[in-house]
Chains A and B, each alone.
Chain A
């Protein structure tokens, strides 16, 4: 009974990503989209909080939104997987529900 969480706000502008991470349960997936993709980058003040989620939650990021913002996949935190639009649909289909953290 896993949940797909989506976050579309920059973690530097709002607390949305941190709140989402604080509510996600083991087995869930947190997918960062739109300005949310900034949360997946390394060497930021937030990287520790992201890494602290360990392996319990799957972290994913939408590749087209990364490319739009000039973020190379080599800059991502280790353990973050990239998905394309088809992968987004797949995640929605394989989880029991989707929760959008707006």
Chain B
């Protein structure tokens, strides 16, 4: 907590579109990105469905917000933790998720993946390492 920077974790546990939680979380993340904090996103339980690729909402008449996750790197939000057990329980693998990259300006803007798939135990450690946790 030196120099006023706090560690913020946004916990996403809801599927997209069925409720407004997923979209609202993303909106808050984008707003919060203006405050130069240390931001991480966690995707567990039905939250992992938010990152599934090839979403096409034309026929249900709501905005497809999944491409917005790919813009997070431009706001220095580069840590998207995804829980392996949650994927397994839903018949998903890493290949079912969209690719989300960020450019590391300290390494000549080399592209690095934002999604980090971790175990439930590691997710608990990520949660315990935060100053502020916002749940959606």
CA distance A35 to B14 in the complex (A): 10
Is the C-beta of A5 less than 8 angstroms from some C-beta in chain B? Answer: no
A12 lies within 8 A of B90 (CB): yes
In the assembled complex, the Cα of A13 lies from the Cα of B19 at a distance in Å of 12
9-residue interface stretch from A51-59, A61-69, A87-95: A61-69
Contacts of B49 in A (CB 8 A): 10, 38, 69
Residues of A within 8 A of B54 (CB): 70, 72
Check A44–B18 contact: CB distance below 8 A: no
Interface string of B1-35 (1 = CB under 8 A from A): 00000000000001111110000000000000000
Q: Which A residues are in CB contact (< 8 Å) with B14? A: 13
| Residues B17 and A41 in contact, CB atoms below 8 Å apart | no
A22 within 8 A of B: no
Q: Which B residues are CB-close (under 8 A) to A63?
A: 59
Cβ–Cβ contact A67 & B18, under 8 A: no
Give the interface SS of chain A, mostly helix, strand, loop or mixed. Answer: loop
Contact A68 B59 (CB under 8 A): yes
Proximity bits, B32-76, A CB within 8 Å = 1, else 0: 000000000000011001001111111110101010000000000
User: In the bound complex, how far is the Cα of B64 from the Cα of A81, in angstroms?
Assistant: 25
Q: Which residues of A contact B (CB under 8 A)?
A: 8-10, 12-13, 34-35, 38, 41-45, 47, 63-65, 67-72, 75
| Residues on B facing A (Cβ under 8 Å) | 14-19, 45-46, 49, 52-60, 62, 64, 66, 89-91, 96
**What 9 pairs between A and B have smallest CB-CB spacing?**
A35-B18, A43-B91, A64-B59, A70-B52, A70-B55, A68-B57, A44-B91, A70-B54, A67-B56
